[in-house]
Amino acid sequence: MNARLTVGQLLERMRDTLLLEPIGAAIGFDRPVTSHEASSPGLVLSGYFNRFPHERIQVFGETEITYLRTLDPHLRRRTLKAYFGYDIPCAFVTKSLDPPEPFLEFAAEAGIPVIRSRLKTAEFYRLIKPFLAEAFAPTVTLHGSLSDVFGVGLFFTGQSGIGKSECVLDLVERGHRLVADDLVIVNRRGNDVLIGRGHELQRHYMEIRGIGLIDIPAIFGIRAVRQQKRLEVVVHLEEWNQDALVERTGLEGETHTILGVELPKIRVPLNPGKNITVIAEVIAMNHLLRYSGHNPAEAFNRRLIDRMRQASANGGLLAPEGPSPSGAAGAAPADVRRYLQEDDE
């Protein structure tokens, strides 16, 4: 199986960010990086190799380099020989320090690349950890369209030809932003955050049946697109079926699981004349309301239950909330069924 990340790829992608330069022999850049962690040798340099996480990227800061320089030359040689006897992916040296002899000699013998950074150790860790976390994040490629609507990541799903791309195109025309169309690469950050982006080759292009491929930023401007977005709501478009059970109140929400993370899922049945774009905007705004602590369905349900309790206390009669048409408070109560029935006028 091919490695997800090699030392050479890490060097190429992070050279400018981490201010990197290889030192010593130019070898070992095809070595795989198999861990999303980076750590300093610590007690290993004193000869304690138990629980040594040698599969991690190794970082030598000023403390480690200074300690090695204080060792007796024979002890330093024995320590470094034992250290580079482990299968280490690579070793970084921060603050532009020069490692003492025979550091580079034993690294070259083991085929381990040594890379120097001009950054301080703390800054080096701060920048490399997010890179490694993203590189090793669980990833899946899904069929659908991802759009940023009022800051909410809506992931549109549905069978091919249902109208996902057309819906997102209409959202872009209304001022929202395209993230990815057709293929969405999703990776998990931490335990509950899903980040979606488009494939590098087709990023910000859309296929509209009857037209073909269109370049969204060229038509609508750079503000109409963004590189990535968190997935927050799954909007599933499906054909209208009058016999299907469709959620009417929003009290019993459906969820959709991606990479072990549950997302709220909204099923939108399609029929002629339905404005899917406005519905998508309402889905986004309703999600923001719920995120802020206000659930309209639960609020209405509590209100209805309170009114029914009042009716039960009044012997089955329900007092109106406001004054009677004559303006007198406490007018004749209405029947519960009348309160619930639809207005046919």
Which of 106-110, 130-134, 313-317 shows the lowest per-residue confidence on average (mean pLDDT)?
313-317
Catalytic residue among 56, 116, 164, 177: 164
Q: How confident is the model at residue 292 (pLDDT cuts 50, 70, 90)?
A: confident
For residue range 211-227, list pLDDT tens digits in order. 889 999 999 999 999 99
| Cα separation, 18 vs 127, whole angstroms | 7
To the query of whether residue 215 is one of the catalytic residues in this protein, the response is no
Sort strands 152-157 and 233-239 into parallel, antiparallel or unpaired. Answer: parallel
Write out the two tokens for 247: 């959620």
Write out the two tokens for 253: 């929400």
Average pLDDT, the chain: 87
**pLDDT at residue 263 is higher than 60:** yes
Write out the two tokens for 263: 């997302």
**pLDDT at residue 333 is higher than 80:** no
- Per-residue pLDDT, averaged over 179-202, amounts to 91
**pLDDT at residue 265 is higher than 90:** yes
Note the pLDDT of residue 160: 87
Q: How confident is the model at residue 156 (pLDDT cuts 50, 70, 90)?
A: very high
Q: Which of 266, 148, 263, 268 is nearest to 198 (CA)?
A: 148
Write out the two tokens for 170: 């209409």
- Per-residue pLDDT, averaged over 67-96, amounts to 95
To the query of whether residue 302 is one of the catalytic residues in this protein, the response is no
Q: How confident is the model at residue 249 (pLDDT cuts 50, 70, 90)?
A: confident
**pLDDT at residue 42 is higher than 60:** yes
H or E element in which residue 62 lies: helix 62-70
Strand partners for 334: 318
For the chain, what's the residue count? Answer: 345
**pLDDT at residue 68 is higher than 90:** yes
**pLDDT at residue 234 is higher than 80:** yes
Sequence-separated contacts (24+) of 290-296 with Cβ below 8 Å: 295/250, 296/250
Check if the beta carbon of residue 112 is closer than 8 Å to that of residue 31.
yes
Note the pLDDT of residue 152: 95
| Cα separation, 315 vs 137, whole angstroms | 61
162 is in an annotated binding site: yes
Rounded (10°) CA dihedral 34, 43, 94, 66: -160
3-state helix, strand, coil split of the chain in percent (to 5) is 35, 25, 40
Segment of 117-126, 190-199, 251-260 carrying the highest mean pLDDT = 117-126
207 is in an annotated binding site: yes
Q: How confident is the model at residue 339 (pLDDT cuts 50, 70, 90)?
A: very low
> 139-291, superfamily in CATH?
P-loop containing nucleotide triphosphate hydrolases (3.40.50.300)
Note the pLDDT of residue 335: 46
Check if the beta carbon of residue 115 is closer than 8 Å to that of residue 90.
yes
Note the pLDDT of residue 201: 84
Note the pLDDT of residue 328: 41
Note the pLDDT of residue 95: 96
Check if the beta carbon of residue 60 is closer than 8 Å to that of residue 99.
yes
**pLDDT at residue 321 is higher than 80:** no
- Domain residue spans in the chain? 7-135, 139-291
Higher per-residue confidence, 231 vs 248: 231
Catalytic residue among 248, 337, 338, 344: 248
Note the pLDDT of residue 295: 81
Question: Most distant CA pair in the chain: distance in Å?
Answer: 104
Catalytic residue among 13, 126, 143, 302: 143
Q: With H, G, I as helix, E, B as strand and everything else as coil, classify residue 323.
A: coil
Note the pLDDT of residue 3: 52
| Cα separation, 80 vs 342, whole angstroms | 82
| Cα separation, 165 vs 158, whole angstroms | 11
163 is in an annotated binding site: yes
Note the pLDDT of residue 98: 94
To the query of whether residue 344 is one of the catalytic residues in this protein, the response is no
160 is in an annotated binding site: yes
- Per-residue pLDDT, averaged over 60-66, amounts to 95
Check if the beta carbon of residue 68 is closer than 8 Å to that of residue 97.
no
Note the pLDDT of residue 25: 86
Q: Is the sign of the CA dihedral 165, 166, 167, 169 positive or negative?
A: positive
165 is in an annotated binding site: yes
**pLDDT at residue 105 is higher than 80:** yes
Catalytic residue among 15, 118, 182, 199: 182
| Cα separation, 245 vs 225, whole angstroms | 36
Fold of 7-135: 3.40.1390
To the query of whether residue 294 is one of the catalytic residues in this protein, the response is no
Is there a shared CATH topology between the 7-135 domain and the 139-291 domain? Answer: no
Under 8 Å CB-to-CB from 320, ≥6 apart: which residues?
331, 333, 334
Higher per-residue confidence, 338 vs 16: 16
**pLDDT at residue 138 is higher than 80:** yes
